[in-house]
Structures are given as C-alpha cells and as structure tokens.
Homo-oligomer: A and B are copies of this chain.
C-alpha cells in the first residue's frame, strides 16, 4: 500500500470557530488517517490582517489574498468560517468553480443562497457541507439527509438560539424581567453587543429556513419565515405559563400540512412534558416528527468554538472519505419538490391572552360573544384581581383557530370599551 496522500485544506477566517477548526485538526492529526484513509494538512489560512500575531498558529500559513487559495490547484477543500453573505458567497462560488470541496458554518449564506450554491456544487461534482450552520455541534443536517431520509417529515421544531434560551431560562428560574436577563447574557458574552438578530428571532429564522428546506425537500428561504422575538415577554407571562404547566420558549417551527409549508419563529407556551421544555440555558435542541420514526430529538450545544468546530470536522471527515472513494457530491441539494409557503394568517394556532378588563358583570359574556362570533372558543380562563379595584385581569387560552379569524376578533376586542389593554398575546405550541 502506498502512503496516503495529504488532503490540503484552506481555512477562511480565524475567529472563534476558525481557530477551533485549526485546533481540532491538530488534535485529530494522528487519527484522521485511520478514520478516512487520508492525511490532512492545513495549507493556508485566510485572515484580514496577516500582521496580527496569532498565538498557537503557524503564521507562515496566513494569507490575506483569497486568489492565492483559489488558484492553488493542490488545495482540495476550503472551510469557510468567516460568516456573513459577502465575501463568503463569492469565495465559495470561486472555490467550487475551481474544483474544490467546501465545508461552511455560514447560516446567513445558506439560508439565503443555499440553493444556488448547492446546485453549483452538484454541477461541479463537489461537496458543499454545512452541518455547522444549524445548531452548532448537534448533528441534525446529516441525520435529516441520511438517517431519516426514509420518512415523510411533517414537523421540525427547534430551540436553535442559545442567547434567547439563556434569557428565557433565567427569567423563568429567577423571575427576572427581559432587560435584566439580557444584560446578564451580555455580561457573560452570550449576547452580542447588538443582540437584535438573536432577540428578534432572525438568527433562529435563518436556521429554520435551512432545516425546513432539508426536512421537506423543498426550498424555504429566510424571507419565507415569519419571525417574532422575545422582547415583549414579561416575568408575569412566564409566571402564568408555569401555573398552567407550561414554559415559554422561542420556538422555530416548520410544518408541512396539505402540501404547503408553514415556517415561523416566535415565543410560545410549551407543555412542561414536552422533551423540548427541559432544554435550558444556552443548549439547543431540534425535535422532528416523521411518519415512520415518530418523535425524535437532537440535543446539545448550539454554539461555541469547539462544538461548532466539531460539526465542521465531521463534514471535513465526510468530505475526506468522499475524496478517498472518489464520490464527492454524493449528497447534494435534496430539494426535489417546490411547495408553496403558507402565510401566517392561514395557519392554525392557539393563543394565550392576558387582558386588563373593567371589573364589571357582563364583561366575560361580552368578550366570549365577540370571540364566539369569530369562531374563537375559549379553552381555559382565569380571572385575577388587580391593584386597581375597577379592573380585573383575564388570562385565557383559546382553542385552535385560524390566525386570520383570531386577528379579526382581536381587532374588534380592542374597540370594546370594557377592555383596557391586551397585556400579552403568545401562541401556544401543540
């Protein structure tokens, strides 16, 4: 047997994840040949500033010129861990066209241009692998594309943003308000200086677009995902949720019903008995329902240097095996359908509502009647006194109702003089 050839890898980006990939490749150096039949070598690392000293890294590998990588025919694979749409999109496109395989952790890019890039990879017969783009270290893309491929998946529900899950966990455990919990998350480095993408659900929405496309074999883009954040959730909401056996989680939900897809991210009440309910702190989990497997869940760390690098390494090893067996491009774009995406108003939902109402006889009857006329049944109702003797608080949960019908009833509600305000309005997962 001849000596195994070296697979030459270029890492694009040397931030948190990039350094993790570099480190793990070193750690695994002795075993990668046994695992894949090939040896691996980091050929180049693309950074913005090559003058910046980087401890623990062979500085001769650094370059600030992508063309050096693209034009080096001896480089088999690039690992893109820069993030953001550009220049990542251009670099990946050029690398694929130059006949290189690609591993990426880039959710923004895959959620917006995944289809076009996967088709290019397919055309070139190369791998474009992106396990790290969703839920960090948790294996979910490969299990969906392979292990669960014999299923008709009908639902994917994920807690796929660690920052918001940490905030909601703190709020629940310590009765904190949102702003205090966010402050704590920022201090601990769990939330970014500008936390918008996390707390408004955009980050989760991008991951959901990727998951839904794979689960339903039909392209779902980020713009197809309805997103709502957690900024309006209060300690009181969480308290009421607990009283009825629920937690509040930011859920990314995609469903296929009657040949159409629904995809949304929003805070939801979730029964404490659901496996996702005990996913706390910065942990992530993805729950899947398929016609054969029934319920399955994948749990782990959704972010962080080594968990994310673990997913990249898995893809690197997958690609090395494909190179060894001359079968790169073996699993490419798995979208062979083109299902329409439902608007949110067409979806069926249940709602948790907290209302401040005039504390007078007949208020309940008036509210029930408006709801009833619009097909909204009330499933559970609690009335609490408030500090102000003229007002009472109503907490109610509706039965399943079409979102459009509910919104119409709500508009009428807000015109009723008996209703002072709608304090919260949160969907209920079922």
Q: Which residues of A contact B (CB under 8 A)?
A: 20, 24, 27-28, 31, 34-35, 131, 137-139, 142-143, 146-152, 217, 275, 278, 290-301, 304, 306-307, 309-314, 316-318, 321-322, 325-327, 329-331, 334, 336
Q: Considering only CB atoms, which chain B residue lies closest to A147 in the complex?
A: B139
Q: Considering only CB atoms, which chain B residue lies closest to A318 in the complex?
A: B146
A335 to chain B, nearest CB (A): 9
A139-B296, A294-B301 as given contacts; A314 in contact with B146, CB under 8 Å: yes
How would you classify the secondary structure of chain A's contact residues: helix, strand, loop or mixed?
mixed
Residues of chain B within 8 A (CB-CB) of A325 are 325, 327, 329-330
**Are the C-beta atoms of B295 and A301 separated by less than 8 Å?**
yes
Residues of chain B within 8 A (CB-CB) of A292 are 20, 24, 137, 306-307, 309-310, 313
Residues of chain B within 8 A (CB-CB) of A326 are 326-327
A172 to chain B, nearest CB (A): 14
A325-B330, A326-B327, A327-B325 as given contacts; A149 in contact with B296, CB under 8 Å: no
Please, could you name 9 A-B residue pairs with CB atoms under 8 Å apart, sorted by A?
A27-B152, A31-B336, A137-B296, A138-B296, A143-B143, A146-B314, A150-B314, A297-B298, A321-B330
Residues of chain B within 8 A (CB-CB) of A313 are 149-151, 292
**Are the C-beta atoms of B146 and A291 separated by less than 8 Å?**
no
A336–B30 Cα distance when bound, in Å, is: 12
Q: Considering only CB atoms, which chain B residue lies closest to A277 in the complex?
A: B278
Residues of chain B within 8 A (CB-CB) of A148 are 139, 310, 314
Residues of chain B within 8 A (CB-CB) of A314 are 146-150
Residue among A139, A297, A316 having the largest count of chain B Cβ atoms under 10 Å:
A139
A298 to chain B, nearest CB (A): 6
A330–B331 Cα distance when bound, in Å, is: 13
Q: Considering only CB atoms, which chain B residue lies closest to A144 in the complex?
A: B139
A23 to chain B, nearest CB (A): 9
Residues of chain B within 8 A (CB-CB) of A131 are 147
Residues of chain B within 8 A (CB-CB) of A290 are 310
Partner of A217, one of B34, B275, B304: B34
A10–B358 Cα distance when bound, in Å, is: 71
Q: Considering only CB atoms, which chain B residue lies closest to A295 in the complex?
A: B300
Residues of chain B within 8 A (CB-CB) of A334 are 35
A330–B323 Cα distance when bound, in Å, is: 10
Residues of chain B within 8 A (CB-CB) of A28 are 150
Q: Considering only CB atoms, which chain B residue lies closest to A21 in the complex?
A: B150
Residues of chain B within 8 A (CB-CB) of A24 are 150, 292
